[in-house]
Structure 1
Amino acid sequence: MATKPKTEQSGAHGVRVIKKYPNRRLYDTDTSSYITLAEVKALVMDNEPFVVRDAKSNEDLTRSILLQIILEEESAGAPIFTEQVLANIIRFYGHSMQGFMGSYLEKNIQIFMDLQQKMTEKAGGPISPEAWQQFMNLQSPMMQGMIGTYLEQSRSAFAQMQEQMQKNSEQMLAALGLKR
Structure 2
Amino acid sequence: MTTTPPNAATERVIKKYPNRRLYDTSTSAYITLDEVKQLVLQRENVLVKDAKTGEDLTRSILLQIILEEEAAGIPMFSEAALANIIRFYGHAMQGHMGSYIEKNLQMFTDFQTKLAEQTGNTDAWAKMMQMPQAMLPAGYAEQIQKMQEQMRQQTEQMMGMFGLKR
Q: Same fold judged by TM-score > 0.5?
A: yes
Partner deviation per Cα, 1:133-172 (whole Å, 9 max, x = no partner) = 324x334342222113312432464476468x47xxxxxx
Q: Following the alignment from structure 1 to structure 2, what is the Cα–Cα distance between the partners of residues 103 and 14?
A: 24
- Residue 37 in 1 paired to residue 33 in 2? yes
Partner of 1:48: 44
Q: Following the alignment from structure 1 to structure 2, what is the Cα–Cα distance between the partners of residues 115 and 162?
A: 25
Which of 15, 21, 41 does residue 11 from structure 2 map onto?
Answer: 15
Which of 81, 87, 91 does residue 87 from structure 2 map onto?
Answer: 91
What stretches of structure 1 move > 6 A for 4+ residues in a row? none
Change (3 A) 1:116 1:91: same
Aligned 8 A contact 2:12 2:47 in 1: yes
- Residue 69 in 1 paired to residue 76 in 2? no
Q: Percent identity?
A: 56
- Residue 107 in 1 paired to residue 99 in 2? no
Q: Following the alignment from structure 1 to structure 2, what is the Cα–Cα distance between the partners of residues 149 and 49?
A: 31
Q: Following the alignment from structure 1 to structure 2, what is the Cα–Cα distance between the partners of residues 144 and 125?
A: 18
Q: TM-score, normalised by structure 2?
A: 0.82
Q: Secondary structure of the residue that 1:56 maps to in structure 2?
A: coil
Aligned 8 A contact 1:120 1:126 in 2: yes
Aligned-residue offset at 1:17 = 0.5
Query: Which amino acid in structure 2 is aligned with residue 138 of structure 1?
Result: Q
Which structure has the bigger radius of gyration? 1
Change (3 A) 1:77 1:162: closer
Unpaired segments ≥5 residues, structure 2: 1-6
Partner of 1:138: 133
Count of paired positions: 155
Unpaired segments ≥5 residues, structure 1: 1-10, 167-180
Q: Secondary structure of the residue that 1:146 maps to in structure 2?
A: helix
